Amino acid sequence: MYKIWKNGYFPMKTIGIIAEFNPFHEGHRYLIEKCKESLGADRCVVVMSGDFVQRGAPAIVDKFSRARMALKCGADLVLELPIYYSTGSAEYFARGAVSILNGLGCIDYLCFGSEHADLDKLDTIAGILNSEPGLYKEILEKELKEGKPYPAASASALAAVIKNSSVDNNIDIYRQIFSSPNSILAIEYLKALRKQKSRIKPYTIERIGQPYHSDDLGGVPSASGVRARIFTASDIYTKSHAEELLGGFMPDEAIGEIGSYQGSFMSSNNLSHLLLYKLTLEKSGGYTDYLDVNTDISNLIAGNLDKFGSFSDFCSVLKSKNLVYTRISRSLLHILLNITKENMKEYKKDSFTCYARVLGLKADSSDILARAHETSTIPVIDRPKTAKKFLSPLQKRLFDETLTASSIYNSISKAYEGSEYSLKPVIL
């Protein structure tokens, strides 16, 4: 890649990162700094979830605040991941985000952290899952018929293929990889790069700190732990209070955003009344039109609606050995936001419909945005009000659905005033 310089160009290396930054913490800064340093990269482009995230929940603070945190802590350009991908399964999350980075035409490396930073083993798994050999399909189908959830059935099928091959006889390591959240996402990134025949090279570093879902704040915490810390006293936040509560867990620049945040800190339960209204309204017709909702889940929701107390409580009521909390949470959020199977089918068929909507940019890194405008094979949207001129009908529908989801988020969080069409990207 090349950096604009006077009347010519000189080589510029650019890394891409896919993230939620919910919220931005020290582990995120470490990822950006370590990857930039190790690869000698000049620029970091982030594709970030908007106002709703992959576990089926609203982000704790809005997307513009999280973009500001990222820009203050090493990112150069932040783009929004559309709602169908940001709240989708690991596969849809990865393929939607990789389609954006690949479409930009100026990304050299896709960087990510994983619990097992062995790229060869991760890529071996990605190759098997992409090709789905006969033995894999046979065992997967058998275990799904026995009632196992898809992740567990897929892990068993994968282990059988590896054991039956000459790849590696250390099955335990592969089982550990396939049961680690960030490694699962890493595998999906590698699958997506393969499917899109991308020239982007993968690069991974070992994830440091607490496990993905841990609330423990020792060492480098997970985003779950930081969110729990923020919620302990979210009604009395001041800048000094945020520094006292979050110092050492988040970079100072990100703590400043929390301390000055004007909106409400959001959790799933902020959506409880809206969700109950939507579920009640559509109970008689069922919910199988929505992404992730099969007949069994639809019947389960309708049959237990009288037990609804809150969003999170209802997820706990519905979860079982074979139906995990995050699957339920995603399903309920898809119902609430009108995220349908039919629309996802169209986006998927269209090579995961995408565009590059700019959330934020560092002023002294504007060369990367200029370069993206030159090399991109997908529309680059600097301002929402210009979107109609550049987007195809399918892209425009996805764009509008993403804006609608954010409008619902902001109607509760009150993070900013007015329509997104009147907002400019964050420029620092």
> According to the model, what pLDDT value does residue 214 have?
45
- C-alpha–C-alpha distance, residues 358 and 148, integer Å: 41
Same domain, 110 and 146: no
- C-alpha–C-alpha distance, residues 413 and 234, integer Å: 13
Domain that holds residue 53: 2-115+203-209+351-427
N- to C-terminal Cα separation, the chain: 23
Same domain, 110 and 132: no
Same domain, 355 and 333: no
222 located within any domain: no
> According to the model, what pLDDT value does residue 210 have?
46
CATH code for position 89 = 3.40.50.620
Residue where a domain stops, chosen among 337, 362, 396: 337
Q: With H, G, I as helix, E, B as strand and everything else as coil, classify residue 165.
A: coil
216 located within any domain: no
Residue where a domain stops, chosen among 314, 337, 360: 337
> According to the model, what pLDDT value does residue 148 have?
81
Same domain, 393 and 313: no
> According to the model, what pLDDT value does residue 145 have?
86
Same domain, 7 and 57: yes
- C-alpha–C-alpha distance, residues 14 and 360, integer Å: 17
Same domain, 10 and 70: yes
189 located within any domain: no
**Longest Cα separation, the chain:** 68
Same domain, 8 and 103: yes
185 located within any domain: no
The DSSP-derived string for 336-358 is HTT-BHHHHHHHHHTTS---EEE
The phi and psi torsions of 290 (rounded to 5 degrees) equal -95, 150
Residue where a domain stops, chosen among 139, 163, 179: 179
Same domain, 17 and 64: yes
Cβ within 8 Å of residue 367, ≥6 positions away: 3, 4, 12, 43
Spatial contact of 251 and 24, defined as CB atoms under 8 Å apart: yes
Same domain, 174 and 135: yes
Same domain, 324 and 421: no
> According to the model, what pLDDT value does residue 238 have?
62
Same domain, 358 and 322: no
Total tally of structural domains belonging to the chain: 3
Q: Please report, in tens digits, the pLDDT of each residue of the chain (428 residues total).
A: 444 444 445 468 999 999 999 999 999 999 999 999 999 999 999 999 999 999 999 999 999 999 999 999 999 999 999 999 999 999 999 999 999 999 999 999 999 999 888 899 899 889 989 999 999 999 999 988 888 877 788 888 888 888 887 666 677 788 788 878 888 899 999 999 999 999 999 999 987 654 445 455 455 567 888 998 888 765 555 656 788 888 889 999 999 999 899 999 999 999 999 999 999 999 999 999 999 999 999 999 999 999 999 999 999 999 998 899 999 999 999 999 999 999 999 999 999 999 999 999 999 999 999 999 999 999 999 999 999 999 999 999 999 999 999 999 999 999 988 889 888 999 99
Prior bond to 221 cis, omega within 30?
no
Same domain, 288 and 385: no
